[in-house]
């Protein structure tokens, strides 16, 4: 998809949607709220009736609200048992199939846990599985961007460097840039200069057009010394979202900004209004 600017939307159906379990109503609500896009959350399982996916594709097209998706949480491409790795691969493929039916062009997922293994070994395993997934999706003629997420816990695979390396080695892969996770993971990257450093790195190391086709997550966040994460509303968090949006604007970044603060649409709208005022 060609973007003219950053698009702002919610991780899942907006809270104010009358029927919160209906994603089609969710897309209509995103449109009514003046937001731009919506992420389908398959956090607890990838099932969707045919009529829902075709309805989503239709309403998304008619209202001009593009969709992204998020795979289930119980994916671990570095699981101890081979059958768990296999079912993780299947879940990613199933997410891709349904996302494609809904018309989504970019999907994110948490790829793996380190399980105390060396990050190099985990990288190899994740890369191998993603190559298999890519090949199978090609055979199914499904074109979707696979976006492993920048994860917030140091026990999870998905550092900035790992995602850059994966993008270089798997052609349908690009990072899902969760800047709130990056902050929680490193306790850094919360100033304008630091955000610029990240964007510069992406620009230099990835495709020159990578910044014009981004999938970003932003929410308020806090993490304790044990690395437990809590999503907060932006105003209750130290996360410096204003300077992040300034940096994204200054680098002419384009693509999806998905908000996963608890108040979903409120923070998404606040970010959109701030961004359009820059
Ligand atoms: Zn996620």
What is the Å distance from ligand 1's center to 12 Cα?
A: 12
∠ CA(5), CA(9), CA(11), 5° rounding? 140
What is the Å distance from ligand 1's center to 149 Cα?
A: 6
What is the Å distance from ligand 1's center to 231 Cα?
A: 11
Q: Are the C-beta atoms of 153 and 166 separated by less than 8 Å?
A: no
Q: What is the mean pLDDT of residues 197-212?
A: 95
Which has more confidence, 43 or 28? 28
What is the Å distance from ligand 1's center to 194 Cα?
A: 22
What is the Å distance from ligand 1's center to 109 Cα?
A: 6
**pLDDT band at 262; cut points 50, 70, 90:** very high
Burial of 208 (0-12, 13-18, 19+ CB in 10 A): exposed
Question: In 17-50, which positions are buried (b, 16+ CB within 10 angstroms) versus exposed (e)?
Answer: beeeebbbbbbbbbbebebbbbbbbbeeebebee
What is the Å distance from ligand 1's center to 92 Cα?
A: 13
Per-residue pLDDT tens over the stretch 215-243: 999 999 998 777 789 999 999 999 999 99
**pLDDT band at 214; cut points 50, 70, 90:** very high
Q: What is the pLDDT of residue 99?
A: 98
Q: What is the pLDDT of residue 18?
A: 94
Mean pLDDT score across all residues of the chain: 96
∠ CA(142), CA(5), CA(162), 5° rounding? 55
Question: For 13-21, which contacts have Cβ atoms below 8 Å and span 24 or more sequence positions?
Answer: 13/38, 14/38, 14/264, 14/265, 15/263, 15/264, 15/265, 16/265
CA distance 105 to 265: 22
What is the Å distance from ligand 1's center to 84 Cα?
A: 19
**pLDDT band at 133; cut points 50, 70, 90:** very high
What is the Å distance from ligand 1's center to 27 Cα?
A: 20
Q: What is the mean pLDDT of residues 145-149?
A: 98
What is the Å distance from ligand 1's center to 162 Cα?
A: 16
Q: What is the pLDDT of residue 137?
A: 98
Q: In sequence order, what are the beta bridge partners of 145? A: 106
| Percent of the chain scoring above 90 in pLDDT | 95
Per-residue pLDDT tens over the stretch 153-170: 999 999 999 999 999 999
What is the Å distance from ligand 1's center to 70 Cα?
A: 7
Per-residue pLDDT tens over the stretch 244-253: 999 999 999 9
Sheet holding 37-41, edge to edge: 145-148, 106-109, 67-70, 37-41, 6-11, 255-259, 214-218, 176-178
What is the Å distance from ligand 1's center to 150 Cα?
A: 8
Q: What is the pLDDT of residue 82?
A: 96
What is the Å distance from ligand 1's center to 222 Cα?
A: 15
CA distance 146 to 187: 27
Q: What is the pLDDT of residue 227?
A: 72
Instruction: Flag whether pLDDT at 213 surpasses 80.
Output: yes
Which has more confidence, 227 or 23? 23
What is the Å distance from ligand 1's center to 193 Cα?
A: 25
What is the Å distance from ligand 1's center to 16 Cα?
A: 22
Instruction: Flag whether pLDDT at 8 surpasses 80.
Output: yes
Q: What is the mean pLDDT of residues 97-101?
A: 97
CATH 3.40.50.11310, applies to 6-276 = no
Q: What is the mean pLDDT of residues 40-55?
A: 93
């Amino acid at each position: 998809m060609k973007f003219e600017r950053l698009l702002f939307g919610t991780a899942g159906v907006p809270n104010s949607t009358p029927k919160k379990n209906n994603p089609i109503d969710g897309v209509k609500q995103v449109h009514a709220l003046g937001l731009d896009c919506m992420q389908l959350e398959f956090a607890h399982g990838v099932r969707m009736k045919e009529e829902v996916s075709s309805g989503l594709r239709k309403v998304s097209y008619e209202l001009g609200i593009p969709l992204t998706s998020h795979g289930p949480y119980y994916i671990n491409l570095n699981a101890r048992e081979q059958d768990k790795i296999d079912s993780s691969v299947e879940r990613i493929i199933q997410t891709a199939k349904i996302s494609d039916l809904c018309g989504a062009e970019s999907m994110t997922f948490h790829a793996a846990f380190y399980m105390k293994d060396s990050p190099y070994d985990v990288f190899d395993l994740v890369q191998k599985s993603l190559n298999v997934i890519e090949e199978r999706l090609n055979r199914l003629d499904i074109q979707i961007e696979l976006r492993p997420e920048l994860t917030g816990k140091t026990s999870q695979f998905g550092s900035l460097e790992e995602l850059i390396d994966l993008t270089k080695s798997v052609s349908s892969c690009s990072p899902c840039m969760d800047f709130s996770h990056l902050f929680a993971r490193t306790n850094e990257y919360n100033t304008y200069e630091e955000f610029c450093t990240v964007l510069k790195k992406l620009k230099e190391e990835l495709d020159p057009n990578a910044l014009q086709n981004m999938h970003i997550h932003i929410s308020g966040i806090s993490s304790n010394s044990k690395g437990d994460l809590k999503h907060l509303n932006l105003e209750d968090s130290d996360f410096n979202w204003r300077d992040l949006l300034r940096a994204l604007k200054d680098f002419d970044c384009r693509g999806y900004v998905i908000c996963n603060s608890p108040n979903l649409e409120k923070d998404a709208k606040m970010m959109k209004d701030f961004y359009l005022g820059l």
